[in-house]
Amino acid sequence: MIIYNKVSKIYKNDTKPVLQNVNLEIKEGEFVTFVGYSGAGKSTLLKMIYAEEMPTSGEVYFHKKKINDLKKRYLPKHRQQIGTVFQDYKLLTQKNVWQNVAFAMEVAGKTQAEIEEDVPQIIDIVGLKSKIDKYPEELSGGEQQRVALARALVNRPKVLVADEPTGNLDPISTWEIMQLLLKINEFGTTIMLATHDKGVVDRISKRVISMDKGKVIRDDLKGKYCI
């Protein structure tokens, strides 16, 4: 489903590569965890899926489509197929829970009827039914991340990219988010998770890709946190 072929990346005004000749294949329905020190290249690798970064050399494929060649006008459509969750939640502060989730459907051109059917359902799944009218600033970190997760899932994406989604959360909220990610994966969504949390990685026992200095150093199908 996702293929990285000899991918290298050097940022502008930088001499050291953040990614060096990375070769990876991720199959549909997989739950893949990326671990490594800060600066190992995990985030850059994930950003290439939703075309926020492009490789300096090599190719990235999503459903056999080469992302490198993606024209700017197709970028919104491409991103609508991918759910993204970040450490800092990236919620729209001007919009309440309902509006934040609905926004993802609005930009995808869904009708009002579809929105009114799907949004409450997904908010219910992430357990925020009682906070539907609240604004991000009125929510805890864990709750905000659940809103972000609901927004990422509402368009039923094929893949969910989660970059340190539990980085700012307490252990209980962390585990709640992980439970949700596992559940989503069970329904067939491919999950790509970058994390520093050893406890999380060890407990879920899924495929672990360890990275260091821009290279993949380990790739275990049922791995533990090991760098």
Partner 1 sequence: MWLQFKRTFKSAVNNVKHNIWLALSVTSVIAIALFIINIQLANIVANDLLLADLENRVNVSVYFKEDVSKDKVQEAEKVIKEFPEVERVTLISREETLEKFNKTHSKNKTLQEVVDVLGENPFGDILNIKAHNTDDYAKITEKIKSANFNNSIDNVNYEEHQDVIQGLGREIKNSQKFTIVLGIILSGIAILVTFNTITITIYTYRRAIEIMKLVGASNLYVTMPFVWEGFLYGSIGAIIAIITSYFYLHFLANGGSSDTLLFLSSSKFIQQFLGEYFTKHLFLAIGFQLLLGTFLGVLSSLIAIRRYLKK
224 binds partner 1 (CB under 8 A): no
Work out the burial of residue 172: count CB atoms within 10 Å of its CB; fewer than 13 is exposed, 13-18 middle, 19 or more buried: exposed
Residues in contact with partner 1, total (CB under 8 A)? 25
182 binds partner 1 (CB under 8 A): no
Among the residue ranges 31-39, 78-86, 173-181, 209-217, the one whose residues contact partner 1 (CB under 8 A): 78-86
CA dihedral 155, 161, 163, 168 (to 10 degrees): 40
Q: How far is CA 36 from CA 15, 149, 154, 194, 215, in A?
A: 21, 23, 30, 9, 10
Q: Out of 6, 76, 202, 217, point to the residue binding partner 1 (CB under 8 A).
A: 76
Q: Out of 52, 116, 117, 138, point to the residue binding partner 1 (CB under 8 A).
A: 52
42 binds partner 1 (CB under 8 A): no
Q: Which is nearer to partner 1, 5 or 99 (CB)?
A: 99
Q: Which is nearer to partner 1, 24 or 108 (CB)?
A: 108
Q: Out of 2, 22, 104, 160, point to the residue binding partner 1 (CB under 8 A).
A: 104
CA dihedral 164, 169, 173, 177 (to 10 degrees): -10
3-state SS, residue 38: coil
Region 108-167 residues binding partner 1, contact defined as CB under 8 A: 108-109, 111, 151, 155
Region 83-102 residues binding partner 1, contact defined as CB under 8 A: 84, 90-95, 99
Q: Which is nearer to partner 1, 162 or 200 (CB)?
A: 162
**Closest CB 96 distance from partner 1, rounded Å:** 10
**Contact indicator for 120, 129 with CB cutoff of 8 Å:** yes
**Closest CB 86 distance from partner 1, rounded Å:** 8
175 binds partner 1 (CB under 8 A): no
**Contact indicator for 6, 214 with CB cutoff of 8 Å:** no
3-state helix, strand, coil in the chain (%, to 5): 35, 25, 35
A 10 A CB-CB count for 185 gives 19
Write out the residues near partner 1 by the rule CB under 8 A.
50, 52, 73, 76-80, 84, 90-95, 99, 103-104, 106-109, 111, 151, 155
